[in-house]
Chains A and B, each alone.
Chain A
Amino acid sequence: MDSGVGGRGSGVRTSTALVVDRTPDTQPLTPSSRVRPQTMAGLAWWRFTRHRMAVAGLLVVAVLGAASTLASWVSPYDPDKPDLQLQLRAPSPVHLLGTDDLGRDLLTRILYGGRISLSIGVLAMTLAVLMGTAVGAAAGYYGGAIDNLLMRFTDLMLSIPALFLLILLILVLRSFPLPFLRGGVLAIVLAIALLSWMTVARLVRAAFLSLKEQVFVEAARALGVGNGRIIIRHILPNAASPIIVAATLRVASSIITESGLSFLGFGVQPPTPTWGNMLKNAQDQMITAPWTAIFPGLFIFVTVIAINYVGDGLRDALDPRHLR
């Protein structure tokens, strides 16, 4: 039934599109005279490169990722040190994107902020995919009571309004007397992950339901291979494509979620910059210093759209059935 309805995996959606998966979509294949590669990976890469926006997206993400990682080399400025002589300077050749209200170089803050925002996206995705895969694989493979229990739990999680629960979870996580949860980054990663594994679980379960009946699984079982090994070595690799696509899109939605939470005041706390809290802080100077608000928002926008295109390209590359 799940597979029958295109968007069932989207679960509870808020109008803010915080935790929304995109629908499958097709992109045209541009005819090419080039010879198709022969290996599976090569073929997938070849298909991926046919999707121009996806390649562009990958390039954008790569550049942003590299610039953020190497921020301390790329930028001559200290991201945290205030300089009150330089408050709110408009973009100039010295400060390409201007300075913020404490006189810090905005581009530098954005690059350092990118580290956190991108890390939150990737970490939340990784956790969500791990949890979702574990639940989905167990449910799909074992079936019966286990399946029922796990899927009812998944339903439960999907039935609580996502943004509401997210806010409550962050309030709770922040309050634990564990220093690493206090600053906000890990609390947010955990909260986002705890509320976004369900779609992955449903996806993986569906894949496992069909794959476990396949001949190669029967064969492995006949040879006496253990359940764990069958799940990890035999079925999972075959279910990888939809997981990879879902994971990519999950990174994008996690970045948006982080910025939304920061915007509402539940996000990562200063002085750690993230795109979300930079945007929040810029709110009250949108008129007097619009660059402080426009650029962090623009970076979120561009990054998310780039990752979404990469996801789109991956879908075409890994799951050719989508192509007609």
Chain B
Amino acid sequence: MGAYVLRRLVQAVPLLWLISLVVFLLLHVIPGGPMAAYENNPDMTAEDLHRLEHDLGLDAPLHVQYVRWLAALVHGDWGYSLASKRPVLVEIGDRLPNTVYLMGVATLVTLLLAIPIGIFSAVRQYSTLDHVVTTVAFMGHSIPIFWFGLILIIVFHVMLRNPLSGAPLFPGGGMYTLGMPFSLLDRLHHLVLPVGMLAVANAATYTRYTRASMLEVIGQDYIRTARAKGTPEPLVIWKHGLKNAATPVVTILALDLPALFAGAVFTETMFSWPGMGRLFIESAFRVDYALLMAIIMVTAALTVAFNLLADVTYAVLDPRIRYG
């Protein structure tokens, strides 16, 4: 197992290097580039442009720029944002906690919703509830999430009012009420809509995974044995069933975890949430090379890491798997 993990880690290095090369090239093919921000300013002369281009190292040949970037990275230097001039890691550090906070809560809510529903719907296969769950899961999976977000805002922020205060039922954006002392209730209040938007989309998937793998487990011999031994049904389901059905769900969860860091582009944009997804979109519009490289590389590294974690989890949970 140790050797397997080590080998996978070693393999990841050239993979990540290739990703960096591909993304670097892609970024530099995008026309306009970061200098476009200065172009429309009639106060900028050609000399000004050249001076800035040189300052930012953008006048060097592409391969030189790449080698510079890579060499700096090896020394732990991710460079500076072209727009804010701040170190890239500081930019990311400002946004990452907010994204982890939103996505962490959303994932938790998703699982708390999806797993019990999935199990219930598997145990009561073909019941009315199962049909409803399956249909709702289908709908949750098919709904365009940004459209859903807009509708959430219209209904819960604009149309519905708090009957006591007359204020909107839920805030339409932000992480907390500005200018108020810290209040857990206020934070939760701000979480409801964005988490709701994320949970609806993701719970659908998890419900269906749980249901499918639970159905598979229920048919197995050891469940029948447990039942035959007279083990109470809830215990059969929750102990024997869930333990075994959890494997694929945990694996999928591990694969989903990079999103915890990459953030949710649509949700963050609609709910003014200062997270990583928005940072990416803003940087993409500004063609902020260093920042974009960093966001993509960090997310890619996490993806590779969590892929490995998924495989290891799978091996640990399911002893039938052997790794050479």
A159-B306 Cα distance, complex, nearest whole Å: 10
Q: Which residue of B lies closest to A11 (CB)?
A: B255
Partner of B144, one of A8, A15, A259, A283: A259
- Set of chain B residues within 8 Å of A11, measured between Cβ atoms: 255
A5 close to B251 (CB less than 8 A): yes
A22-B209 Cα distance, complex, nearest whole Å: 9
Q: Which residue of B lies closest to A5 (CB)?
A: B251
Q: Is B244 an interface residue (CB 8 A)?
A: no
Q: Is A28 an interface residue (CB 8 A)?
A: yes
A11-B251 Cα distance, complex, nearest whole Å: 12
A252-B143 Cα distance, complex, nearest whole Å: 11
Given known pairs A160-B296, A305-B142, the reply for A23 and B205 (CB within 8 Å) is yes
A67 shortest CB reach to chain B, Å:
20
A11 shortest CB reach to chain B, Å:
8
B248 close to A161 (CB less than 8 A): no
- Set of chain A residues within 8 Å of B290, measured between Cβ atoms: none
- Set of chain B residues within 8 Å of A164, measured between Cβ atoms: 262, 280, 284, 295-296, 299
Given known pairs A4-B314, A163-B265, A263-B266, the reply for A169 and B142 (CB within 8 Å) is no
Q: Is A308 an interface residue (CB 8 A)?
A: yes
B255 close to A7 (CB less than 8 A): yes
- Set of chain B residues within 8 Å of A229, measured between Cβ atoms: none
Q: Is B182 an interface residue (CB 8 A)?
A: no
- Give the segment of A119-127, A210-218, A220-228, A293-301 that binds chain B: A293-301
27 contacts between A and B (CB under 8 A): A4-B318, A6-B248, A7-B252, A12-B303, A13-B259, A14-B259, A14-B265, A16-B201, A22-B208, A26-B212, A156-B19, A159-B303, A160-B23, A161-B300, A163-B265, A168-B284, A171-B30, A175-B30, A264-B266, A264-B281, A279-B146, A290-B154, A293-B147, A301-B147, A304-B144, A305-B142, A324-B215
B138 close to A308 (CB less than 8 A): yes
A114 shortest CB reach to chain B, Å:
15
- Set of chain B residues within 8 Å of A260, measured between Cβ atoms: 144-146, 266
B145 close to A286 (CB less than 8 A): no
Partner of B138, one of A1, A169, A309: A309
B142 close to A156 (CB less than 8 A): no
- Set of chain B residues within 8 Å of A312, measured between Cβ atoms: 138
A286 close to B154 (CB less than 8 A): yes
Given known pairs A13-B255, A175-B30, the reply for A5 and B314 (CB within 8 Å) is yes
Give chain A interface residues in 9-48, CB to chain B under 8 Å: 10-17, 20, 22-28
Q: Is B81 an interface residue (CB 8 A)?
A: no
Give chain B interface residues in 198-220, CB to chain A under 8 Å: 198, 201-202, 204-205, 208-209, 211-213, 215, 219
Q: Is A287 an interface residue (CB 8 A)?
A: yes
Residue of B142, B202, B248 contacting most chain A CB atoms (<10 Å): B142
B-side residues, CB < 8 A to A, are 11, 15-16, 18-19, 22-23, 26-27, 29-31, 103, 106, 126, 134, 138-139, 141-147, 150-151, 154, 158, 198, 201-202, 204-205, 208-209, 211-213, 215, 219, 248, 251-252, 255-256, 258-259, 262-267, 269, 280-281, 284, 292, 295-296, 299-300, 303-304, 307, 310-311, 314, 318, 321
- Set of chain B residues within 8 Å of A66, measured between Cβ atoms: none
Partner of B103, one of A12, A15, A24, A152: A15
A13 close to B15 (CB less than 8 A): no
Partner of A160, one of B143, B204, B281, B300: B300
A259-B147 Cα distance, complex, nearest whole Å: 10
Residue of B147, B209, B219 contacting most chain A CB atoms (<10 Å): B147
Supplied contacts A15-B264, A20-B205, 14 more A-B pairs, CB within 8 Å? A4-B314, A5-B314, A6-B209, A11-B255, A14-B265, A16-B265, A17-B204, A22-B141, A159-B19, A164-B262, A164-B299, A172-B26, A279-B144, A283-B150
Partner of B212, one of A6, A17, A20: A6
Which 6 pairs show the lowest CB-CB distances between chains A and B?
Answer: A297-B147, A305-B142, A304-B142, A15-B264, A175-B31, A161-B299
Q: Which residue of A lies closest to B321 (CB)?
A: A4
- Set of chain B residues within 8 Å of A163, measured between Cβ atoms: 265
A14 close to B262 (CB less than 8 A): yes
- Set of chain B residues within 8 Å of A28, measured between Cβ atoms: 126
A312-B138 Cα distance, complex, nearest whole Å: 10
A259-B28 Cα distance, complex, nearest whole Å: 26
- Set of chain B residues within 8 Å of A319, measured between Cβ atoms: none
- Set of chain A residues within 8 Å of B266, measured between Cβ atoms: 16, 260, 263-264
Q: Is A107 an interface residue (CB 8 A)?
A: no
A300-B209 Cα distance, complex, nearest whole Å: 24
A297-B26 Cα distance, complex, nearest whole Å: 32
A160-B202 Cα distance, complex, nearest whole Å: 20
A23 close to B209 (CB less than 8 A): yes
A252-B141 Cα distance, complex, nearest whole Å: 10
- Set of chain B residues within 8 Å of A7, measured between Cβ atoms: 209, 248, 251-252, 255
